[in-house]
Homo-oligomer: A and B are copies of this chain.
Amino acid sequence: MASEYGKNLKVSVFGQSHGKAIGVNIDGLPAGETIDEEKLYRFIQRRAPGQNKTSTARKEKDKPVFLSGFEHGKTCGFPLCAIIENADMHSSDYESLKNKPRPGHADYTAYVKYGGTADMRGGGHFSGRLTAPLCIAGGIALQILEKHGIYIGAHVLSIADKQDDAFPLKPQKELFETIAKKDFPAINDAAAKEMEETILAAKAELDSVGGVVECAVTGLPAGLGGVMFDGIEGRLASAIFGIPAVKGVEFGLGFDATKIKGSQNNDAFIINGEKVETETNNCGGILGGISNGMPIVFKTAFKPTPSIAQKQKTVDLEKMENTTVEITGRHDPCVVLRAVPVVEAVAAIVILDMIME
């Protein structure tokens, strides 16, 4: 079992890259929530391929069709199922890969687990394409959260060794909106240009690059989350690692917190008007697994796209001998840009699941 997340809100993703349709079923949404379909579609489009010159050429409309749970612009309290029909598929691109697992992909592990019966054309259910239904669910969650004054935004913090600015201590929703409208979702446009060039250079070398997405959740009251396995970190991480290509998640300073002293890392409490705040936010807004009222901030590491056009060493699983593989097809030299709304979407699903308790 696999493709479901949530406790109060069950989000079940289905579909294969080259199947009839992909989609999501969301059980547990409150009734009567207005969802702006145009706004939702704009959000989903942020992850769609073919947007700018750094992305794969596969064009899709990715317009969701609502099968249930949504009538007259409102959720009706019943399970909401929405699908996107697949189109523009080049399955033959994958024929030559049979028995030759692509390095860095799930081909080999899926072969072992499913015994060769899985529909792995285009990556099957492992495909990055399955993040589209995640964006449907997350886009709905985002609209509901906004009505509670909770905003979620993300940006590309780094590509290879090129760095964007980090979020300020208290990022505002206007900043999130500005970033969302950019072709390259970064805070600092000069940094964005460097990062884009790094991607294009990798593409020119038939190679790929990875990067880090920083995400912030603002407006969350203190006291949400829970102790031990119910902590916000664990709940967010378990979902974020569900996004393809994610290899690391850290909160606040994360791994960098291990480099400094406790006296530097501890966030001093201060009174700000009527509110308890902290002077710094090294803990990423979470203490003991529970929100402290400051923004939740976390970073997600995406590995370089494994699909590269260079010849690579692999094995022939039938003949059990060493061989090489050359991947044709269309692939992103970098998934990080398109991952930005996906991280926002998944964060929104987790936070909505949590505040429904």
Residues of A within 8 A of B (CB): 1-5, 7-10, 12-16, 19-23, 25, 27-28, 31-32, 65-69, 71, 74-81, 83, 101, 103-106, 108-110, 112-115, 117-119, 124-126, 130, 158-161, 202, 205, 207-212, 222-231, 233-235, 237-242, 244, 246-255, 257-271, 274, 276, 278-279, 283-284, 286-293, 299, 301-308, 310, 312-315, 317, 320-322, 357
Contact = CB atoms under 8 A, between A and B. Distances in A.
Contacts of A158: 258
Given A67-B20, A108-B269, A269-B313, A303 B78 contact: no
B114 A76 contact: yes
A16 B315 contact: no
Contact of A247 (B68, B246, B250, B307): B250
A76 B116 CA distance: 9
Contact of A207 (B69, B261, B269, B288): B261
A83 to B, nearest CB: 6
Contact of A266 (B5, B110, B312): B312
A294 to B, nearest CB: 11
Given A108-B287, A254-B301, A271-B321, A227 B315 contact: no
A101 B46 CA distance: 42
Among the interface residues A68, A231, A239, A260, which one has the most CB atoms of the partner chain B within 10 A?
A68
Contacts of A28: 1-2
Nearest to A357: B8
A263 B310 contact: yes
Please classify the interface of chain A as helix (H, G, I), strand (E, B), loop, or mixed, using the class held by over half of its residues. mixed
A119 B248 contact: no
Contacts of A83: 67, 81
Contact of A258 (B212, B312, B317): B212
Given A16-B68, A210-B262, A237-B241, 13 more contacts: A2-B226, A2-B228, A12-B79, A14-B27, A21-B81, A104-B283, A108-B222, A109-B290, A248-B250, A248-B251, A248-B255, A257-B303, A260-B304
16 contacts: A2-B27, A2-B228, A5-B229, A15-B67, A19-B69, A103-B269, A103-B278, A112-B293, A160-B260, A212-B258, A234-B237, A234-B241, A244-B288, A247-B255, A250-B250, A258-B302
Contact of A76 (B77, B117, B226): B117
A258 B211 contact: yes
B14 A103 contact: no
A210 B265 contact: yes
Contacts of A314: 268-269
Given A212-B258, A234-B237, A229 B4 contact: yes
Contact of A2 (B227, B284, B302): B227
Given A258-B160, A265-B210, A14 B81 contact: yes
Contacts of A230: 1-3
A255 B157 CA distance: 12
A138 to B, nearest CB: 13
Contact of A231 (B115, B161, B241): B241
A228 B130 contact: yes
Nearest to A302: B258
A310 to B, nearest CB: 6
B257 A255 contact: no
